[in-house]
Each structure stands twice: as structure tokens, then as C-alpha cells.
């Protein structure tokens, strides 16, 4: 499926089928209003109606703005993919909406059929986007094309992340993730360094090693770097890469183990961000650190009651082996700060079910000490179409991580505020001079979905990629 921005208005583009948008207000003035109303069409958000005679699919939108158009475009293209049309046309709806339209088409048309014996083939070969404004007049093409090309890169990187998240743990394990990173580095002119088990031992990364020691696949720490000349900023991105999480000896219930291939979504998101940043050519130095491990069960499993010495020297009492992601991140965060003096340090993890309890399944939880930084990333997320919610640190919850036999416990002593206490645990591994530069993103809710929503289809969503790239783009202005 090829996307092209046409320097032409919608009406003058030849195609087999077209996509049009109607609000409840514009429905009343539409040429086909009688026919649409007789079909029960009310122009509700994401409602569709096929007008076969005019070779058009009409899609309802709340308003002609990015969030509404992105979702509606994704819905429309999913409907058309079930038909036999080859060439489809759509309006850009103005320079402020071209990015949303493009993302809706790319993200909405994504399918994961890697393991199907007979994958379905999409009949659509070309999607032609008319470079026009909301009123149907020709817009400034070159300016719009810049937004279009950037949107393609970001949406494609998001789908790249989705593909990794959806791939089974039999195919993506720690070394396989390292090989994916090495391949990305070769294709995108990045540098990549991979630490194996022996090197992790030399670095004193005992918490990460403990998590992975029961698996036949030993842990890997992956460091990707994008270094343009004269960078404006230096950013470190850290991703939790649990290629599978059984819960360890604190075994998950059987139903909870299904979809645990998604526990690598944080690391996959960082790979997607590195892909997007390098292809956009942003004047920012970016480092991606991935902690890849598999939390399994055998006679060598780490145990509740173990005390682990982390890379930064702090000791951790293990009370639950299913709170393993924070142990991996503790060591990787320490390593990232050792290796790179960054202006900002962000980590991404499917860390807690408690974050979904607090914010719902659609929203990324943001934690950190800097109110300004949290505000800036939330604003970028809003512009990108991702949802975020802040969760506040406080001293009372911090006390719940106290251990009588070690420096800190890996879980809270009470079952409340679990997302925040997980973030506070990570705070113990952030250097003092980085406290105001660090943010923790709990993506457990939106990273994977079994019910399609917005422009997200079944499976991995690529949560965090669009938001973070938008923030990095803002740093360049």
C-alpha cells in the first residue's frame, strides 16, 4: 500500500473509491443527506456509511481536528481493506491535519499476520492524499509535504514497534532482540553495543542477572546510539525488555500469562524511537538502552527472600519475583547514567497493572520530580494523539518500600498506589543530579490491546513512540 501526497484537490483525483468526512453540522448540507439519513447515518464519531453508487465511504467525525480525523481515518481504511478497491483518495483537510490523516491511514491499516498459514492480502495498492485545506482549496504543497513525510516516518516506526511487541517469545528472546538492534543500527547508521552475561557480571548488574538466570536465554543489555554533528541536546531512553514474563516463582495465574509477550513493549518502543529519530535526522544525540531478559522458572530461579546487590551498590530484598521489571530497570538506569551524561533520562516499561487501575487502559502514567518536564511531555503527548496522566510521588508511599534486612524492598508493604511505589523504587537508582531530568513512563495500559480503539488494532500499539518523538521534535525548535 503506497501513500502519495498529490498536489491536487480531492475532486480532481482519479480513484476507485474515496473517503469523505462529515460532522453532524455538515451532514445537513451534504448532497447525499437524504440517502445518508435513510441509511441511519448520524455522523457520530467513527460511524461509517458506504455510498456504492458514488464510490465513497462517508465517515463521521466530532470535528475536523486531528484526534477525530486520525481515529475516523483508521476506521475508514479498515472498512475499505475488506473490499477490492485498488486506488483510494482522501483529503488532507488542511496542513494542521495532514499528520493525523497520514497516521490514521498507516496505523489503521496495520495487520499482524506473521503466523497465519494463509495471510489475507489487502487489495488497496495506492492511497492518494489531496493537498487541500478544509474548504477543498489547494494548500501550500511543499510545506504540507514536509509534515506528510515526517508523519510517514513516525507512523512506520510505530508499526515497527507493534510488530516486535506482537512477535512471540519463541522468536524474540534477549539475544534475538540484540540482533534486531544490530540490524537496525546497520540500516540506520547507528552504533550498537551489546553486553552479554559475562559483561553484565563485570558491571555488577546482579539484579538484572537474577531475573534472567532461570531462562535458557541469558540477559542482554543493548546500547544504541544516534550521534549527529553538533547536537542540541543529549537524551537517554531506557526500555524494559522482558521478552517473556511468567512471574518467576511468584507465578502468574494462567490467564495472566497470555499476552506476556508484550512485557518487552518498553524496549520495543525505544527501538521504534531510535528508528524514527535517525530517519527524521533530528539534531539531537539519542541513546537507547534496552534491558532484555526472560523471567522463567527452574531450579535456578531467584527467590522471594533473596537479597540482590544492584549495580549502584544498593541492596534489594526480593518479596515478589513478579516485580522483576523494576529490578532490570534499576541496573539499566544505573548503567545508562554511567555511560552517558544526558540532558534528559526517560524510561518506558509495562511495569504495573496498578497503573491501569489508576488511569485506565488507554493512558500512559507519567512520574518524576520535575513538574515542568511532566507538563512538557504531556503537551507533546496531546499533540501526538497519545493520552497521559500524572501520578504524584510522596514521602508516605516511599516509606512502604522500607526493608528491615536490605536497603529497599522490591514491592510495597501495602497493596495501594502500586504504580507510584514502583516509580519510587526506580527513583532510588537515579543519581541526584538527574532527579529533575528523569521521567518514568508506565505504559502497561495502552501498550497492548485486545479490543481495537482509536487508530490501534488488536495487539501491540507502539505506545510512547509518537509522544516521545514529538517531544524530541519540540526540543529542536
The CATH code of the domain that includes 386 is: 3.40.630.10
CA distance 280 to 151: 10
Q: Does 331 reside within a domain? A: yes
Regarding whether 200 and 105 lie in a shared domain, the answer is no
- CB 438 within 8 Å of CB 345: yes
* Domain interval for residue 361: 156-475
Regarding whether 87 and 226 lie in a shared domain, the answer is no
Q: Does 216 reside within a domain? A: yes
Dmax (CA) for the chain in angstroms is 75
Tell me, yes or no, if 213 is annotated catalytic.
no
Q: Does 149 reside within a domain? A: no
pLDDT at 341: 98
Domain boundary among 139, 166, 194: 139
Sorted by sequence, the CB contacts under 8 Å of residue 413 that are 6+ apart come out as 400, 401, 402
pLDDT at 217: 98
Flag residues of the chain having pLDDT under 70.
Answer: none
CA distance 406 to 306: 10
Which position among 55, 65, 87, 252 bears the catalytic label? 252
Regarding whether 163 and 123 lie in a shared domain, the answer is no
- List Cα–Cα distances, 9 to 20, 50, 89, 351, in angstroms: 13, 22, 10, 47
How would you write 275-311 as a 3-class SS string? HHHHHHCCCCEEEEEEEEEEECCCCCCCCCCCEEECC
pLDDT at 133: 95
- List Cα–Cα distances, 447 to 163, 258, 262, 422, in angstroms: 12, 14, 7, 18
Regarding whether 131 and 195 lie in a shared domain, the answer is no
Q: Does 148 reside within a domain? A: no
Please report, for the domain that includes residue 73, its CATH number.
Answer: 3.40.220.10
> Which three cell numbers, joined as nine digits, stand for 81?
481493506
Regarding whether 381 and 237 lie in a shared domain, the answer is yes
pLDDT at 378: 98
Q: What's the predicted TM-score (pTM) here?
A: 0.98
pLDDT 10s digits, 203-213: 999 999 999 99
Regarding whether 284 and 177 lie in a shared domain, the answer is yes
Q: Does 211 reside within a domain? A: yes
Regarding whether 169 and 104 lie in a shared domain, the answer is no
Q: What is the number of domains present in the chain?
A: 2
Regarding whether 213 and 114 lie in a shared domain, the answer is no
Regarding whether 230 and 98 lie in a shared domain, the answer is no
Q: Does 406 reside within a domain? A: yes
Regarding whether 413 and 371 lie in a shared domain, the answer is yes
Helix axes 465-475, 371-384, angle to 10 degrees: 110
Closest CA to 335 of 201, 463, 444, 175: 201
pLDDT 10s digits, 215-254: 999 999 999 999 999 999 999 999 999 999 999 999 999 9
pLDDT at 477: 86
Domain boundary among 139, 165, 180: 139
Residue 313 zone, left/alpha/beta (φ > 0; ψ -120 to 50; rest) = left
Regarding whether 216 and 70 lie in a shared domain, the answer is no
Q: Does 144 reside within a domain? A: no
pLDDT at 121: 87
Q: Residue 369, exposed/middle/buried by CB under 10 A (0-12, 13-18, 19+)? A: middle
| pLDDT, averaged across the chain | 97
pLDDT at 351: 98
Which position among 89, 152, 275, 326 bears the catalytic label? 326
Tell me, yes or no, if 252 is annotated catalytic.
yes
Q: Does 463 reside within a domain? A: yes
Residues forming a β-bridge with 366: 390, 441
Domain boundary among 113, 139, 165: 139
Regarding whether 50 and 173 lie in a shared domain, the answer is no
Amino acid at each position: 500500500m503506497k501513500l502519495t501526497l498529490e498536489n491536487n484537490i480531492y475532486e480532481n483525483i482519479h480513484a476507485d473509491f474515496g473517503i469523505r468526512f462529515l460532522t453532524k453540522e455538515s451532514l445537513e448540507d451534504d448532497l447525499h443527506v437524504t440517502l445518508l439519513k435513510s441509511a441511519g447515518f448520524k455522523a457520530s464519531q467513527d460511524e461509517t456509511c458506504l455510498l456504492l453508487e458514488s464510490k465513497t465511504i462517508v465517515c463521521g467525525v466530532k470535528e475536523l481536528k486531528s484526534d477525530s480525523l486520525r481515529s475516523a481515518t483508521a476506521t475508514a481504511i479498515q472498512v475499505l481493506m475488506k473490499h477490492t478497491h485498488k486506488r483510494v483518495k482522501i483529503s488532507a483537510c488542511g496542513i494542521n491535519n495532514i499528520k493525523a490523516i497520514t497516521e490514521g491511514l498507516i496505523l489503521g491499516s496495520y495487520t499482524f499476520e506473521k503466523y497465519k498459514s494463509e495471510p489475507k492480502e489487502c487489495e488497496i495498492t495506492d492511497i492518494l492524499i489531496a493537498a487541500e485545506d478544509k474548504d477543498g482549496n489547494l494548500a501550500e504543497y511543499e510545506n504540507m509535504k514536509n509534515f506528510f513525510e515526517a508523519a510517514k516516518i513516525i507512523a512506520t516506526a510505530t508499526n515497527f514497534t507493534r510488530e516486535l511487541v506482537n512477535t512471540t517469545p519463541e522468536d524474540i528472546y534477549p539475544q534475538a532482540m540484540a540482533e534486531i538492534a544490530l540490524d537496525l543500527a546497520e540500516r540506520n547508521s547507528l552504533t550498537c553495543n551489546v553486553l552479554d552475561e559475562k559483561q553484565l557480571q563485570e558491571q555488577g548488574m546482579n539484579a538484572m542477572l537474577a531475573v534472567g538466570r532461570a531462562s535458557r536465554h541469558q540477559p542482554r543489555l543493548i546500547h544504541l546510539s544516534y550521534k549527529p554533528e553538533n547536537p542540541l541536546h543529549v537524551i537517554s531512553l531506557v526500555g524494559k525488555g522482558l521478552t517473556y514474563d511468567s512471574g518467576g516463582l511468584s507465578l502468574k495465574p494462567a490467564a495472566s500469562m497470555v499476552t506476556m509477550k508484550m512485557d518487552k513493549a518498553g524496549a520495543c518502543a525505544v527501538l521504534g524511537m531510535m528508528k524514527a529519530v535517525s530517519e527524521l535526522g533530528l539534531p539531537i544525540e539519542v541513546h537507547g538502552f534496552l534491558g532484555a531478559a526472560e523471567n522463567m522458572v527452574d531450579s535456578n530461579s531467584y527467590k522471594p527472600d533473596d537479597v540482590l546487590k544492584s549495580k549502584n551498590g544498593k541492596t534489594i530484598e526480593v518479596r515478589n519475583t513478579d516485580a522483576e521489571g523494576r529490578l532490570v530497570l534499576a541496573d539499566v538506569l544505573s548503567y545508562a547514567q554511567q555511560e552517558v551524561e544526558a540532558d534528559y533520562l526517560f524510561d518506558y516499561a509495562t511495569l504495573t497493572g496498578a497503573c491501569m487501575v489508576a488511569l485506565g487502559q488507554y493512558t500512559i502514567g507519567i512520574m518524576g520530580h520535575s513538574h515542568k518536564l511532566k507538563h512538557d511531555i504531556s503537551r507533546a503527548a496531546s499533540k501526538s494523539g497519545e493520552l497521559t496522566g500524572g501520578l504524584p510521588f510522596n514521602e508516605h508511599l516511599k516509606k512502604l518500600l522500607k526493608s528491615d534486612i536490605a536497603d529497599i524492598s522490591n514491592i510495597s508493604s501495602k497493596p495501594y498506589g502500586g504504580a507510584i511505589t514502583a516509580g519510587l523504587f526506580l527513583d532510588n537508582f537515579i543519581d541526584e543530579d538527574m532527579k529533575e531530568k528523569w521521567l518514568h513512563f508506565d505504559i502497561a495500559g495502552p501498550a497492548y490491546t485486545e479490543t481495537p480503539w482509536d487508530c490501534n488494532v488488536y495487539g501491540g500499539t507502539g505506545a510512547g513512540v509518537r509522544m516521545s518523538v514529538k517531544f524530541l521534535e519540540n526540543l529542536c525548535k
